[in-house]
Chains A and B, each alone.
Chain A
Amino acid sequence: DVKVTQSSRYLVKRTGEKVFLECVQDMDHENMFWYRQDPGLGLRLIYFSYDVKMKEKGDIPEGYSVSREKKERFSLILESASTNQTSMYLCAITTDNTEAFFGQGTRLTVV
């Protein structure tokens, strides 16, 4: 089974802090994604990566950046956290048949 692990289940950060969300996969999949999930808005794509050191903006990249130095690890970075970034963040990978496997999510609260 594909395993996608997010480093934290819950995080509380202060406005203006730099925040790192980590995602690790246990297989050799190229494609990794970061989504945020908000009630009534579904899952919105923030950034994705097709390979090491490659990144593409999704639909809502403002206020975020990403890093992929190793194939198995994809990090989401909030350069200066704001209260409107309080959300559930989900990391995912896709397999060759396009099936997506998600991590358990990180619920981030910015105060």
Chain B
Amino acid sequence: QQQVKQSPQSLIVQKGGISIINCAYENTAFDYFPWYQQFPGKGPALLIAIRPDVSEKKEGRFTISFNKSAKQFSLHIMDSQPGDSATYFCAASNTGFQKLVFGTGTRLLVSP
């Protein structure tokens, strides 16, 4: 069963534009929501993460928006750059178990 649903599967954005990736979860026990970035030939690496006590977290050009009542969270990449072209995974976990459940991934291409 897919506990974390991610969309879209792929995304093309022009340089300077805003990239938006959405995720929805089912398990209300989840209390940690990270986003991972993966470049070809590499393992995923943590990009940014949020806990449900805040509705937004911003780090540079990357922002997570979190809606607890809707059980949804999203990643916004402002001023998207070609170097942001990668696959992005949302994830969720219950920190008591430290086991991450991943979304299906979004392949982002930022065109020059």
Contacts and interface: CB of A to CB of B under 8 A. Distances in A.
Interface of A: 4, 31, 33, 35, 40-45, 48, 58, 90, 92, 94, 98-100, 102-105
B98 A94 contact: yes
Interface of B: 6, 9, 32, 34, 36, 41-46, 49, 89, 91, 93, 95, 98-105
Contacts of A98: 32, 34, 93, 95, 98, 100
B79 to A, nearest CB: 26
Enumerate the 8 nearest inter-chain pairs by beta-carbon distance, A residue then B residue, closest first: A102-B43, A42-B104, A43-B102, A94-B98, A42-B102, A42-B105, A98-B95, A98-B32
Contacts of A35: 102
A45 B99 contact: yes
Contact of B44 (A41, A45, A94, A102): A102
Taking each of A42, A45, A90, which has the highest tally of chain B beta carbons within 10 Å of its own beta carbon?
Answer: A42
Contacts of A40: 9, 104-105
A42 B44 contact: no
Given A99-B49, A102-B44, A104-B41, A42 B89 contact: yes
